[in-house]
């Protein structure tokens, strides 16, 4: 499936936004971005 619409890859933009959010939260709370993703996954499961 082609994710590129009108020359814009919207999925790429969403993935980058999520990564930037994880990096921002990690720096704010003094944890690694990997730990932030792990915590978010645990929260969404409960």
d(C-alpha 37, C-alpha 25), whole Å: 10
**Per-domain residue ranges for the chain?**
8-45
**Is 0.75 surpassed by the pTM of this model?**
no
Handedness of CA 21, 40, 25, 31 (dihedral sign): negative
pLDDT in tens, 1-46: 566 667 777 788 888 888 888 889 899 999 998 898 898 889 988 7
Reduce the DSSP state of residue 3 to 3 states and report it: coil
Task: Tell me the helix, strand and coil percentages in the chain, rounded to 5.
Answer: 70, 10, 20
**Residue 27 pLDDT:** 92
pLDDT at position 1? 56
């Amino acid at each position: 499936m082609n994710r590129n619409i009108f020359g814009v890859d919207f999925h790429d933009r969403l993935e980058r936004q999520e990564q930037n959010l994880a990096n921002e939260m990690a720096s704010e709370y003094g944890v690694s971005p990997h730990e932030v993703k792990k915590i978010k996954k645990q929260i969404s499961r409960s």
